[in-house]
Amino acid sequence: MTLDAEMLHSLTKGTAEEAWRVIINKAVEIASKPLSSNSASSEVTKRDREVGLLDHALCGSAWDLWHSFGDAVERTSVRLTRWWAEPYSAKAVLILDGLSLRELPWLLQGAKERSFTLNEVSVNASELPSETNEFAQALGFGNRSQLQNNGGGLAHKLQPAYTECADMPWKDCEAMINSTPNWVFWHHWPDSKIHEGSGAGQGMDMLARDVAMQLSSDDFWSFVERLATGRRLVITSDHGYAATGYFSDADGDVGQFLKKTFASGRSTTTGEIGPFVPPVALRINSVHGSHLLAVGRWKWKSQGGYPTLTHGGLSLLEVLSPFVELSKTGA
């Protein structure tokens, strides 16, 4: 893929809203094409690198667009709150922690194969930084674990709802769904797998194979059907992830700056943006305060090794989340 003249013009000459619409539409076009289990690993890697061309534009001539991201692209937390206010008799939200656009094809294919109705397929923004706690707090929860055993409380924005948080097999999760009309279920996968496979020599290959197995399994879709029975269901995520194992090595002064500023992470509350043009770090002000975030596709040497899968910075596949609304006939 190359960036054509029309796209480059949109990124540099149009409004921020127009630019982000073009960027997201292109990322979705790349990421949402059907996948097969046999070629999933190689194809996901290929697509990741195609989206990388958009990331390179966003950390080059169009880097200032990141300052408008939080305003120009609706956040998932805001979209969920709006959706929850729709007059459905019963509804459910399934948050798959760390689900990115890479996994969207499996949801679309599985829903079609199992005769779900796709009512909406869209893309929204993570919180900045793209971390779990920030998303939970944007919905009015103290943290993810608060949802466990219906502990969500009465202060969150998805009222009324039975809440649950688990990292259990899909069959066990299915057994947890009772007849309460409204549900918010936050599952640790695939984020748990992302961090398990973030060490040196591991990463996307292992994760892509696990995703193909999980999201095409009968157990997963039986769990989804249980949630969707009699309810409108949204499947979404708190954030995506960066396949940093494919990122370029930052050497010299840039590498030293990034190592000193971010260690093995991609965001911090302290530090300066540095003297580099275009910048390799940006200070972003959001509802969660002021944070310094790593920009684009750089990795650097750090103690213990820089993770090959992570999140928290500014690259497209870590800050965009799918939003898929499903129903069964009559729901």
pLDDT, tens digit, 9 for 90 and up, residues 276-307? 999 999 999 999 999 999 999 999 998 888 99
d(CA 297, CA 49): 10
C-alpha closest to that of 158 among 86, 239, 231, 74: 86
Q: Is the pLDDT of residue 201 over 60?
A: no
Q: Are the CB atoms for 261 and 281 separated by under 8 Å?
A: yes
d(CA 48, CA 15): 26
User: For 209-228, what is each residue's pLDDT tens digit?
Assistant: 999 999 999 999 999 999 99
Q: Is the pLDDT of residue 3 over 70?
A: no
Domain count, the chain: 1
- Predicted local confidence at residue 61, as pLDDT: 84
User: How many CB atoms are located within 10 Å of the residue 160 CB?
Assistant: 9
- Predicted local confidence at residue 195, as pLDDT: 86
Angle among Cα 52, 58, 60 to the nearest 5 degrees reads: 105
Residue 137 lies in a domain: yes
- Predicted local confidence at residue 118, as pLDDT: 97
Q: Which residues contact 250 (CB under 8 A, 6 or more apart)?
A: 258, 280, 298, 299, 300
Residue numbers of the domain that contains 220: 74-242+317-327
Residue 278 lies in a domain: no
Residue 85 lies in a domain: yes
Q: Kindly report the pTM of this predicted structure.
A: 0.95
Residue 226 lies in a domain: yes
- Predicted local confidence at residue 11, as pLDDT: 72
Residue 89 lies in a domain: yes
Q: Is the pLDDT of residue 331 over 50?
A: no
User: How many CB atoms are located within 10 Å of the residue 330 CB?
Assistant: 7
Instruction: Determine which of 1-5, 107-111, 164-168, 194-198 has the lowest per-residue pLDDT on average.
Output: 1-5
Residue 102 lies in a domain: yes
Q: Is the pLDDT of residue 63 over 90?
A: yes
Angle among Cα 59, 65, 68 to the nearest 5 degrees reads: 140
d(CA 165, CA 173): 9
- Predicted local confidence at residue 214, as pLDDT: 97
Residue 107 lies in a domain: yes
Residue 46 lies in a domain: no
C-alpha closest to that of 249 among 320, 298, 207: 298
- Predicted local confidence at residue 304, as pLDDT: 80
User: How many CB atoms are located within 10 Å of the residue 251 CB?
Assistant: 11
- Predicted local confidence at residue 196, as pLDDT: 84
d(CA 167, CA 274): 40
Mean pLDDT computed over every residue of the chain = 94
Beta bridge partners of 289: 286
